[in-house]
Amino acid sequence: MAETVAQWLLSLEKDGMVVAILVNTLLQIPGFIPSVTITGVNVFLWGPVLGGIVSWLGEVLGAGAAFFFFRTGYRIGAGRRFPDWRWINHLNRWPPHRQFISLLAARLAPMIPSGAINLLGSLTTIRFQHFLLATAIGKIPSIALEVWVSHDLIHVREHGLRLAMLLIALVLVRWLWKRKGGG
């Protein structure tokens, strides 16, 4: 499948990068579709730097679109701006800088699904600009990791040992995280 997508994007020539950003954006809106495959395609086609930027931009735009659609859909469907839930009211009483830092921390946490962050953010009073900035900053480490793994998978003969060490380190971090009660 990745080869088919890559060939299709290449056939679009200059427009391929724009289409890749759009595809990545659309994959982010539902919030549960992993983007690592399209990141791998982007890295394969445009290299780790440009491919990483294309993936990052698509993910940030997709999270912004999801935020907008979730917030708008809730307001239309429920007939009010924000839910009257105790924990949402608690988050809404926080000052804007604390909401921003909390959202950024959630984006940086490796085990929190992006869709959950998009949905929760849309149900609070956080401003769209603050949501987008926290998302843009917070997505950098996860995209960098996806790019690194994708690059090393593409060049497994040259980077197989590094890839194996990275994957072992990720499994170890996940195990320690679960052992400490973090997930």
Q: Pick the residue with more confidence: 35 or 134?
A: 134
Number of domains forming the structure of the chain:
1
- The domain of 71 spans 2-179
For residue 3, the model assigns a pLDDT of: 82
How many CA atoms does the CB half-sphere of 30 hold within 13 Å?
7
Count of other CB atoms within 10 angstroms of residue 15: 11
- Angstrom distance (rounded) from CA 90 to CA 16: 44
Share of the chain above pLDDT 90, in %: 65
pTM: 0.86
What the block records as the tokens of 78 is: 């429920």
Q: How big is the chain by its Cα radius of gyration, in Å?
A: 18
* Predicted confidence band of residue 125 (pLDDT cuts 50, 70, 90): very high
What the block records as the tokens of 7 is: 């060939």
Sign of CA dihedral 70, 2, 53, 159: positive
What the block records as the tokens of 9 is: 């994007």
Model pLDDT for residues 2-27, shown as the tens digit of each residue: 788 889 998 998 899 999 999 999 99
Continuous H helices in 36-127: 36-78, 86-92, 96-108, 114-122
Which residue, among 118, 103, 13, 104, has the nearest Cα to 61 in the 3D structure?
A: 118
